Structure 1
Amino acid sequence: MTLPDLISIAVYVVILFSVAWWASRTDRNQERSAKDYFLAGGSLPWWAIGSSLIAANISAEQIIGMSGSGFAIGLAIASYEWMAALTLLLVAKFLIPVFLNKGIYTMPEFLEKRFDSRVRLLMAVFWLGVYVFVNLTSVLWLGALAMHTVAGTDMFWGMLLLALFSLLYSTWGGLKAVAMTDVIQVTCLVGGGLLVLGLALDKIADGQGLLAGWSLLLERAPEKFDMILASDNPNYASLPGLSVLIGGMWIMNLSYWGFNQYITQRALAAKSLPEAQKGILFAAFLKLLMPLIVVLPGIAAFVLHPDLPKSDMAYPEMMKLVPPGLLGICFAALIAAIASSVSSMANSVATIFTMDIYRVRIRPKATDRELLVSGRLAAILSVVLAMLVAKPLLGELDQAFQYIQEFTGFFTPGVVVIFLTGMFWARTTANAALAATLLSVLASLVLKLAAPMLPFMDRVGLVFLLCLAAVIVISLLERRQPSDKAIALREINFATTTAFHIGSAGVVLVLVALYATWW
């Protein structure tokens, strides 16, 4: 790090906190409400929603983890990004209209409105556990790993700096501060990521330019450009062939993009339904771009440094190519991605704990001020706990991204089943939803132990079918008439604009072209 690098980072920090302060302003005599803090007062425009969705998603576990998987597996790991673009279109068209119609703060709150308080509490506890012990830990640990590799920062102090930086503006300003600063974060992320990729390609070509580097990358690592892996591929267990197109990846993506609090919370804070749908469409287009930033640098690292001791060292190694003066920009981009995700996850922990547990179970008559204090304390405690458990959980892993996907795969089949059947099948009962939630974990564990060679993505698909069958059978045995809590689909506006249709068609055509090229 040179002086110009440090100046770049300092300028980034000043701009970020200035925007957070501006977004957090309230009238002098106006007290901030819970809706202001947790849902930005329902005021987010489409460009903030789209940027914030990507900023919340692309963090250390994406940049470091997916680059590591790009190093080990290749472009096939980009299916997580490209199939997510298609999933986002479905979320905008069919799911967000239901959530906005119900006027909810959280995903567990929707489950109580559709089922009962037992389902709400169970899923609130589940999401709090996943956010703290999987998401926050991975973001902080991999972010500190990147700082250690690039700047020599001690791992613990790296996590502490990231945590303090993220919490300083998010715990005070709430979701609006997070979303507005995410616009800056995404700009830094895309710019810095493309700079790293460009320098890596130029290095491969010995200074002959990007196109020459791209051609050599294809020539020297052709095995890294198979999008659909054959069964004899050593990485088939991670990405089992056509399952990325028609199998378990759909379940993973629907759970993440459709029913995940720290993702859907942005759309719940939209000015209107059309504004939310435009923002999600914008995020889908950005998703098409992400493999350039999070996967190709890993493949470039495989060509330049095939003997790296750990796959997750690929992206930090590529950052070393950035010359003095520009390294600060790329480092700021990496910090931007990490800080955005930490702040987003902490804000969602605060929202779920406060609105689903504190307000419902502990203090039903809490004032807005008490709810804000509860949320801020929950956010701080969640990050502290994540820091304490990060090393024991992730310290010895080679590909953290794959670990995260497999762990969450124990729960996601049940999550997707209870939401989809709850939204679109009027007979679904609360007992059936509870059974599916518990069966998801139990069946996943049994299959993991009994058939360890079964790819986890295929396991997710099989468990989804089991949970779906369980919901259908139990619901039919319990009730022959639609539930009085069923979603009145006829009252919900699922119409979308012509611009949304054109944009969606563009996303689909790009995806078809990508898979046709590297089938």
Structure 2
Amino acid sequence: LIASNISAEQFIGMSGPGFKMGLAIASYEWMAAATLLVVAIFFLPIYLKNKIFTMPQFLERRYNSTVSLVMAVFWLLLYVVVNLTSILYLGAIAVREISGLNIFFCMGLLGLFAIFITLGGMKVIGYTDVIQVFFLVLGGLATTYIAFNLVAEQFGQSGTIAGFNLTMEKANDHFHMIFDKTDKNYLDLPGLTVLVGGMWIVNLNYWGCNQYITQRALGADLNTARNGLLFAAFIKLLMPVIVCLPGIAAYVLHQQGNFQAEMLQDGELNPDRAYPVLLNLLPLGLKGLSFAALTAAIVASLAGKANSISTIFTLDIYKKINPEASEKNLVRIGRITVLVAIAVAMIIAPFMGIDKKGGFQYIQEYTGFVSPGIFAMFILGFFWKKTTANAALFATIGGFLLSVLFKFLPNWVDLSFLYSIGFSAPNSDGIYEIPFIDRMGFVFLICVIGMYIISILELKGKANPKGLEIDRSMFKTSQGFTVGALLVVGILTALYSIFW
């Protein structure tokens, strides 16, 4: 499960925000730990009891084929425009920094490797997942170790602990989890709503309604699956050590005059270069292994997304349009889809402004255009038997349109009146925007209310015969899981108390 989640998006993508805004970006990891517990307790039993193993299967069974088709289109757009482009961009930064090759050439190489792996079959990726992650984590730990030692040397001291303490001292503003509305990074991580608002939608949608992830969580039985997620939650608590702290250390080193040229892209400071720059400092052998593992993980991530795109288009769209298509024809269409998807991503990636926003934030914000509606559709589909297909369509299509409206609303309306209550802040141009995490929360609430009204009007209070079977006994947990879950919650409480 963790192997499916760790890639360039984590190491390069989160070190960049670590450099820019500090430990606060670790909320994506630490809140994921809490989210995994929720998914283990409430989502997995529903999947297993109702024998749901794919997302299209759930949508068609719970709603209808139209909802499944609309969602297939949304997933295709999301995977191509957001996921493939950002992985190509972040991966190319790493390869360029270490190899010295042109960034567009690096994108092309990664894209070609991904096409080769996808068309050649995905088995090799599955076999190497754990090996890749082992060397990625090893390289991450070594990078953190070297970065803190360098910080210590800058101030005439030595040792990792001294380096960490000096990093906290010299970058004290980078060790706060909750931003005040006056903070320049408030639009990215808007204060308390990180804990009680839209961040839950980000994580629950990713960990609970994502086929790429949930298929890896479904163990042989419920207890096995839950224990797997509990273990993943503990790993998530540790992830900031290797994906966030190196970025903060790089910030301190940069403030001391190091890496001035290396951190520039087209003459401007690019925080996403922090991790690749530090990776260059590893001893030659370990640097080679870490670089190979990172490159393999990037290609595997691209290939995994490309394979999902191929499957979705071939089975959920093309086969419905042409139900008589032969197996040979479906394979051919799938291969063409892979070529087109990666080619489109390679062409549009340089024009998406990923370098200005930062790769990780780009993924989160633009995934947020569809995730509130998707999550509303899933959560009501799980737990409320009266939810109808038309209500689900409202959430998916209406949720996307509402997200677009809220995104561009500042161009037409002065939103400064929301600043006093923390729901808007000025961007770099002085225009007041709604933080995208808050925007997701608003859209989710509107979708839920709209789905409730539509379902009540359609069924006049009756249950939908397509409602899932649920009973309270499904949510009982073992004593061992409960103890482990309480320990995770306790550690999270301590971490947020220390770094508030």
TM-score (norm 2): 0.87
- Find the aligned partners of 1:276 and 1:351 in 2 and give their Cα distance: 25
Conservation of the 8 A alpha-carbon contact between 1:56 and 1:344? no
| Paired residues of 2:62 and 2:468 also in contact (CA < 8 A) | yes
Q: Distance in 2 between matches of 1:499 and 1:381?
A: 48
CA contact (8 A) 1:358 1:364 kept: no
The residue aligned with 2:266 is none
Distance across 2 between alignment mates of 1:514 and 1:109: 39
Q: Which moved more, 1:220-229 or 1:349-358?
A: 349-358
Q: Does 1:505 align with 2:486?
A: yes
Does residue 200 of the first structure (1) align with residue 152 of the second (2)? no
Verify: 1:233 aligned to 2:233, yes or no. no
Distance 1:172 1:497 in 2: 43
Partner of 1:385: 344
* Cα distance in structure 2, aligned partners of 1:475 and 1:187: 48
Deviation track 1:248-299 (CA, whole Å, cap 9, x = no partner) reads 100111111111232223235x444433333322222221121111111111
Partners of 2:289 and 2:250 lie apart in 1 by 20
Distance 2:117 2:41 in 1: 33
Separation (CA, whole Å) in 2 of partners of 1:475 and 1:491: 24
**Residues 52-76 of structure 1: per-residue CA shift (max 9 Å, x gap):** xx23322223222211111111100
1:104 Cα offset (Å): 4.2
Instruction: Give the distance between the partners of 1:183 and 1:312, measured in 2 at CA.
Output: 25
Residue 287, structure 1, aligned to residue 268, structure 2: no
1:101–1:492 contact (8 Å) kept in structure 2 = no
Unaligned runs of 5+ in 2: 264-268, 410-414, 416-431
Alpha-carbon distance between aligned partners in 1 of 2:317 and 2:477, rounded to the nearest angstrom: 35
Deviation at 1:377, TM superposition (A): 4.4
1:313 aligns to what? 273
Shift of 1:106: 2.9
- Does structure 1 conserve the Cα–Cα contact (< 8 Å) formed by 2:86 and 2:354? no
**Which of 309, 333, 347 is the aligned partner of 1:349?**
309
The question of whether the paired residues in 1 share the 8 Å contact of 2:69 and 2:316 is answered with yes
Following superposition, the deviation at residue 233 of structure 1 comes to 1.0
Q: 2:395 maps to what in 1?
A: 436
CA shift in 2, pair 1:499/1:340, >3 Å: farther
Q: Which residue of 1 aligns with 2:384?
A: 425
Number of residue pairs matched by the alignment:
464
Question: Measured at CA, do residues 247 and 96 of structure 1 come closer, stay the same or move farther in structure 2, by a change above 3 Å?
Answer: same
Q: Does 1:58 align with 2:18?
A: no
AA aligned opposite 1:248 = G
Distance 1:333 1:515 in 2: 32
Q: Partners of 2:495 and 2:300 in 1: how far apart? A: 29
SS of 2:379 mapped into structure 1? helix
Q: Quick one: which amino acid aligns to residue 310 of structure 2?
A: A
Conserved? CA contact 2:189–2:437, under 8 Å: yes
Native 8 Å contact 2:209 2:378 kept in 1: yes
In structure 1, the residue matched to 2:424 is none
Contact 1:59–1:341 (CA under 8 A) maintained in structure 2: yes
- Which deviates further from its counterpart, 452-461 or 409-418? 452-461
Aligned mate of 2:214, from 264, 287, 293: 264
1:148-167 matches, within 5 Å, as: 148-167=96-115
Alignment partner, residue 243 of structure 1: 193
Report the counterpart of residue 470 of structure 2 in structure 1.
489
Q: Which amino acid aligns with 1:157?
A: F
Q: Is 1:468 matched up with 2:415? A: no
Q: Does 1:190 align with 2:137?
A: yes
CA shift digits 1:2-59 (9 cap, x unpaired)? xxxxxxxxxxxxxxxxxxxxxxxxxxxxxxxxxxxxxxxxxxxxxxxx3xxx233222
Deviation (angstroms), 1:493: 3.9
Whole-angstrom distance in 1 between the partners of 2:225 and 2:290: 30
Asked whether 1:92 is paired with 2:40, we answer: yes
Deviates more, 1:108-117 or 1:373-382: 373-382
CA gap of 1:96–1:348, structure 2 versus 1, over 3 A, is farther
Local SS of the residue matching 2:189: coil
1:117 corresponds to which residue?
65
Instruction: Note if contact 1:79-1:227 (Cα within 8 Å) is conserved in structure 2.
Output: yes
User: 1:491 Cα shift?
Assistant: 9.9
Letter in 1 for 2:488: V
Deviations 1:482-510 (CA, angstroms, capped at 9, x unpaired): 11100011398444433332332232222
Answer yes or no: is the 8 Å Cα contact 1:97–1:492 preserved in 2: no
Alignment correspondent of 2:81: 133
User: Is 1:251–1:412's contact at 8 Å kept on the other side of the alignment?
Assistant: yes
Question: Which residue pairs with 1:459 in the alignment?
Answer: 439
How far residue 361 of structure 1 moved from its aligned partner, in angstroms, is 3.3
Q: 1:261 to 1:373 in 2, by over 3 A?
A: farther
Q: How many Å apart are 1:398 and its aligned residue? A: 4.5
Would the aligned equivalents of 1:248 and 1:461 in 2 still touch at CA under 8 Å?
Answer: yes
Is the contact made by 2:47 and 2:53 (CA closer than 8 Å) also made in structure 1? no
Structure 1 range deviating more: 206-215 or 398-407: 398-407
Instruction: Specify whether residues 507 and 73 from structure 1 end up closer, same or farther in structure 2 by C-alpha distance, changes over 3 A only.
Output: same
Q: Letter of the 1:122 partner, please give it.
A: V
SS of corresponding position for 2:433: coil
Measured against aligned partners, the alpha-carbon deviations of 1:101-140 in whole angstroms (never above 9, x if no partner) come to 4444531321111011111000011001101110011001
Whether the aligned pair in 2 keeps the contact of 1:312 and 1:398 (CA below 8 Å) is no
- Structure 1, unpaired ranges of 5+: 1-49
Matching residue's letter, 2:254:
H
CA-CA distance at 1:359 after TM superposition:
3.5
Q: Percent of aligned positions with the same letter in both sequences? A: 50
2:159 aligned partner, one-letter code: G
Confirm or deny: 8 A CA contact 2:89 2:359 kept in the other structure. no
Instruction: Determine whether 1:254 maps to 2:208.
Output: no
Does residue 107 of structure 1 match 2:55? yes
Q: CA deviation at 1:356?
A: 1.7
User: 1:199-256, CA deviations, whole angstroms, 9 ceiling, x for partnerless residues?
Assistant: 0000001171111101100110000000111111111111111111101100111111
Deviation at 1:395, TM superposition (A): 5.7
CA shift in 2, pair 1:162/1:225, >3 Å:
same
Aligned partner of 1:3 in structure 2 is none
Q: Which moved more, 1:332-341 or 1:465-474?
A: 332-341
Q: Partner amino acid for 1:279?
A: G
2:364 to 398, 405, 426: 405
